[in-house]
Amino acid sequence: MPRVKKSTHRRARHKRILREARGYFGTKSRHFQQAKVAVMRAGQNAWRDRRQRKRNMRSLWITRITAACRMRGTRYSLFINGLKYAGVLLNRKMLSQIAIEDPAAFDKLVELSAKSTSATPSRS
């Protein structure tokens, strides 16, 4: 079998990693070994943070809805429970958007939620 040197494949691999590490500080953008570690770690962080972004956004939406509910004299949990009983199928993103951009519509949702909560029988 002929002897195979890795020169072209190795060079291509190194170039790819160094291209991905462009803009990193110091030796992380210049030396292959350091760049490889930095690119791997950046990929892990990116993967983790794509999932964390979803959690953070949901938390932000809930905070906004809570603030809007408190301004109208109700609690978040009662508001969401009332909407569930009323059969309103709006997610938290849309509710926070409505609370910010259309306060009158949010007032109506709060009234609807309060009506449906008072109409349901108690669980005791």
Give pLDDT tens digits for 57-72.
Answer: 999 999 999 999 999 9
Mean pLDDT of the chain: 93
| Of the candidates 99, 93, 94, the residue with the CA atom closest to the CA atom of residue 68 | 99
CATH of the domain at 63: 1.10.1900.20
State the Cα–Cα distance between residues 61 and 105, nearest whole angstrom: 17
Say if 2 falls within a structural domain: no
* Whole-number pLDDT of residue 119: 72
Is 1 a member of any domain? no
Backbone dihedral region for residue 74 (phi beyond 0: left; psi -120 to 50: alpha; all else: beta): beta
C-alpha–C-alpha distance, residues 36 and 29, integer Å: 9
Is residue 90 assigned to a domain?
A: yes
pLDDT of res. 5: 81
Give the range of the structural domain holding residue 61, as residue numbers without chain letter. Answer: 8-119
Percent of the residues in the chain that have a pLDDT greater than 90, as a whole number: 85
pLDDT tens digits for 22-59? Answer: 999 999 999 999 999 999 999 999 999 999 999 999 99
Number of domains in the chain: 1
pLDDT of residue 6: 84
pTM of the model: 0.78
- The pLDDT, as a whole number, for residue 104 is 96
State residue 85's pLDDT score. 94
Could you tell me the pLDDT band of residue 3, with boundaries at 50, 70 and 90? Answer: confident
In a domain, 111, yes or no: yes
20 in any annotated domain: yes
Residue 124 domain-assigned (yes or no): no
